[in-house]
Amino acid sequence: MDYSKIYFKKDNSVMKVVFNNPEKLNALTAEFIKEMNCLLDEIEADENLQVIILTGEGKAFIAGADISAMKTMTPAEAIKYASDTTEIYRRMEESKKIFIAAINGYALGGGCELALACDLRIASMKAKFGLPETGLGIFPGGGGTQRLPRLIGMARAKELVYTGKTISASKAYEIGLVNEVIEHDELMHEAENLAFVILKNSKSGVSLAKESLNKGMQMDIVSAINLEKNLFGLCFATEDQKVRMSAFFEKKNAKSK
């Protein structure tokens, strides 16, 4: 399709995706949602792609929903909107690809929720985070009340949701919302470096680890460990495991001679 709210560039196994509606602070408009779903189709169809870096054009990563469209929604339309956005986040979470959010500016409301669905989050020092929905008579309906407490704990999640306050990148790092805070001009460089570090490791090992981590968090510990051991076993059915372990011993033996 023709993309207008997103542009992207593929570089071997890495795709850089830029949200491109700076006039609306990259809001989660209907057009954006449609384009993002189409892009996810392309990402899943490309077997060579392993890491996707997401960032925003202008001063926002995504500054939330399109409030002008949301203010007249009926309850049924609101549920449909929440379903459309959460479907994007579910697809990212369940993908075998690794998603890195390179958060360049405001990540508010749905923008924060999209970042939560990513595997890793690195933030510019200019980034700001918040879930301001309760000030608008609603609450985070894109998975925010579910993913956030799983990531930073219930007490801190309730504080952010109930108060609707905006926090700095350094505070987000302090509470475990982001993995790292970077100088603004170095953000994309660091995101690319992180992608390349991941790419050095086993594609199948990383994707199976993602499945174990994400699914296991939704289970009791006994069920999660059973899931883990079965996925661990699948690693031994891959060519990657055989090649990498053989190479490890060849290198070790060469050093010992």
Residue from 133, 174, 183, 192 carrying the catalytic annotation: 133
Give the strand order in the sheet containing 120-124. Answer: 6-11, 14-19, 51-56, 98-103, 120-124, 180-182
Which residues, in sequence order, are CB contacts of 110 under 8 Å at separation 6+? 28, 62, 64, 65, 85, 142
Of 92, 84, 111, which Cα lies nearest the Cα of 30? 84
Closest CA to 127 of 189, 173, 89: 173
Tokens of 183: 């100088």
* Type of residue found at 253: N
Cα four-point dihedral sign 242, 244, 246, 248: negative
Order of strands across the sheet that contains 128-130: 60-62, 106-108, 128-130, 166-168
Residue in 31, 113, 183, 211 annotated catalytic: 113
Active site residue 77: no
Is 148 in contact with 161 (CB distance < 8 Å)? yes
Whether 133 is a known active-site residue: answer: yes
- Catalytic (active-site) positions: 113, 133
